[in-house]
Amino acid sequence: MEHHIVLGIDIGGSGIKGSLVDIRTGEMQGERLRLATPQPATPEAVADTFAQLVEMHQWKGLVGCGFPAIVKNNVALTAANVDKSWVGVNIADALQRSSGCQVVAVNDADAAGMAIMRYGIGKGELGVVLIVTIGTGIGSALFYNSQLVPNTELGHVILHNMPAEHYAADSVRKRQELSWEDWGARLSEYLRHLERIMSPDLFILGGGVSKQFEEYAAFIKVDTPVKAARLQNNAGAIGAAYYAWQQTQLL
C-alpha cells in the first residue's frame, strides 16, 4: 500500500464526500464521491453510509474523517447538525466497526483549515488566521503562526440572540431565499463581531459558498483582509486525510 495516499471523508449536514488524497501534494486522486447524509443522521445510519463510501473507493487503508462537532480524542462532544445521539460516541470506533478501516476523526472545519493552511491559500500565512467555513452550519479553524487551536466553534457565538450559524450560514441564505446583498450583510456583521473578539490578521472563507465569493465580496465591510479558499468544498476531505496521516506519524 502506498503510505502517502489516505482516504479523506467529510461528513456534513447534507452530504458525505470522499476522495483519495496524496498527502505529499494535497491533490485528490481519482473521483470525488458523494452520498446524501442519511436523515436522521444517527451513528448507525451515518456509519453505514460511511462504509458504503469506503467500499465505493475499494479502500482498505487509513481514513481521515471530518465530522461537524467538537471532536476530542475521536469522541464527539456536541452535535449541532447531526443527530443528538452522537454526543459521547467515539466516532473513529463507530466508523472503524462499519468499514473495517483504521479511522481518525477531526472537527470538519479544523480539517478544512489544515488543508487550506498546508496546500491552499493560507500557505505561509503567519499571525492569527481565522478560517470560517460556511455551509449547513458555520465552522471555524483558528491558526496562530500555522499552528491549529482546535475546536474553536465560533459559529456558535451569539448574534441577534441566536447562534451565529442560525443567522448567517449558507443554509439560511438558501432557506430564507436571501439575496447576495442581504446575506452578505449578515456575513459581514458576523465577521465584524469575530474581528472584535479575536483580532485576526486574516480571514479565510471556506465551504461551498466560497466559490461564489465575487457575488458577496462587495458587501463585506471589515478592516481585516478577507480571502476566499480555493480548495472550496474539497478542503474538508483533503484536510481530514492529512490530519489522519499526521496523527499516525506521531504514534
Pick the closer one to ligand BGC by CB: 96 or 133.
Answer: 133
Pick the closer one to ligand BGC by CB: 5 or 186.
Answer: 186
Full DSSP string of 207-239? SGGGGGHHHHGGG---SS-EEE-SSGGGHHHHH
Where along the sequence are the contacts to ligand BGC (CB under 6 A)?
Answer: 68-70, 78, 80-81, 107-109, 133, 135, 137, 139, 153, 155, 165
Closest distance to ligand BGC from the beta carbon of 70 (Å): 6
Residues 6 or more apart from 198 whose CB is under 8 A from it? Answer: 128, 130, 142, 154
Pick the closer one to ligand BGC by CB: 36 or 251.
Answer: 36
The rounded distance, in Å, linking the Cα atoms of 228 and 226 is: 7
Question: Which residues make beta-bridge pairs with 128?
Answer: 144
The rounded distance, in Å, linking the Cα atoms of 80 and 108 is: 13
The rounded distance, in Å, linking the Cα atoms of 80 and 149 is: 20
CA neighbours closer than 13 Å in the CB half-sphere of residue 202: 23
Closest distance to ligand BGC from the beta carbon of 14 (Å): 10
Pick the closer one to ligand BGC by CB: 61 or 163.
Answer: 163
Backbone phi and psi for residue 33, each to the nearest 5 degrees, phi listed first: -110, 150
Closest distance to ligand BGC from the beta carbon of 44 (Å): 21
The rounded distance, in Å, linking the Cα atoms of 187 and 78 is: 24
Closest distance to ligand BGC from the beta carbon of 201 (Å): 22
> CB–CB of 135/209 below 8 Å?
yes
The rounded distance, in Å, linking the Cα atoms of 110 and 100 is: 25
Closest distance to ligand BGC from the beta carbon of 233 (Å): 12
Pick the closer one to ligand BGC by CB: 135 or 184.
Answer: 135
Pick the closer one to ligand BGC by CB: 78 or 102.
Answer: 78
Residues 6 or more apart from 97 whose CB is under 8 A from it? Answer: 47
Closest distance to ligand BGC from the beta carbon of 37 (Å): 11
Closest distance to ligand BGC from the beta carbon of 58 (Å): 28
Pick the closer one to ligand BGC by CB: 80 or 244.
Answer: 80
Instruction: Provide the Cα torsion 240, 104, 149, 173; round to 10°.
Output: 50
